[in-house]
Amino acid sequence: MTLKRARIFDALALLTVIIVVTLDQWTKALVVQYLSPPGIGPRIPLIGDYLVLFYIRNNGAAFSLFDNNSIALVVLIVAAIAIIAYLYLRMLNSGPLVYKLIFGMIIGGAVSNLIDRAHHSGYVVDFISFRIPQIGFYFAIFNLADAAISVGVFLLFVVVLLSGLHRSEEKQGRVASQKVDDGQAIPTTKSKLGHSKEQDAQP
């Protein structure tokens, strides 16, 4: 990969971060303006009772994890940022586009939620409520930044898994090719059977 192409990929990753932060902050501003006060404001159904907009203040991490547990939350955020920064720096000016875009989603979501915490003295604005009332399922209320982080982590897992399987297949192909080049090809079942019959026919 040329340096110019790698820099274009890095620029697209930065653009992804900007888009995620912009959309998340814009939707949060609309929610605060039109769905206040938090916890008791209006509920806006998007898909019946299954997907509803409802404004709450979240003092925990994504999806209200570690709510009111500041030590665990700080450790989680610091560890996550350190891992993401390390992985991205390893691919700076290199690496495929798909990885850059995925890291852009994750970093954008994390940055936007950090902006929220700094702006609102510790809490973030959550407003997307997914639930299935018929079976009593109520998912934690979240925001677009949480969604970007979650989708990014899922896609990263899938890409890493598929990449590992692809490398394993390539390695097996190289080993088989090397055996053929060295004259060590394994005889086929047909040749084995034919050889056995010839031996049995000999007196």
Tell me whether residue 51 is in a domain: yes
Tell me whether residue 176 is in a domain: no
Q: Is 146 a catalytic residue?
A: yes
Give the per-residue pLDDT at 91.
Answer: 78
Give the per-residue pLDDT at 73.
Answer: 62
Tell me whether residue 188 is in a domain: no
Helices 144-181 and 3-34 cross at an angle (nearest 10°) of: 150
Residue among 10, 24, 116, 126 flagged as catalytic: 126
Helices 97-119 and 70-90 cross at an angle (nearest 10°) of: 150
Tell me whether residue 128 is in a domain: yes
> In this model, does residue 42 exceed pLDDT 50?
yes
Number of domains within the chain: 1
Tell me whether residue 132 is in a domain: yes
Tell me whether residue 195 is in a domain: no
> In this model, does residue 145 exceed pLDDT 70?
yes
Give the per-residue pLDDT at 55.
Answer: 95
Among residues 145, 135, 137, the alpha carbon closest in space to that of 23 is found at 145
Q: Is 126 a catalytic residue?
A: yes
Tell me whether residue 69 is in a domain: yes
Residue among 10, 24, 116, 146 flagged as catalytic: 146
Pairing outcome for strands 124-132 and 137-138: antiparallel
Beta strands in 16-161 (DSSP E): 44-47, 51-58, 124-132, 137-138
Give the per-residue pLDDT at 192.
Answer: 47
Q: What's the N-to-C CA distance of the chain in angstroms?
A: 65
Whole-angstrom distance, CA of residue 141 vs CA of residue 72: 20
pLDDT, tens digit, for every residue of 121-134? 778 899 999 989 88
Tell me whether residue 200 is in a domain: no
Instruction: Domain of residue 104: give its range.
Output: 3-158
pTM of the model: 0.74
Beta strands in the chain (DSSP E): 44-47, 51-58, 124-132, 137-138
Pairing outcome for strands 124-132 and 51-58: antiparallel
Helices 97-119 and 3-34 cross at an angle (nearest 10°) of: 30
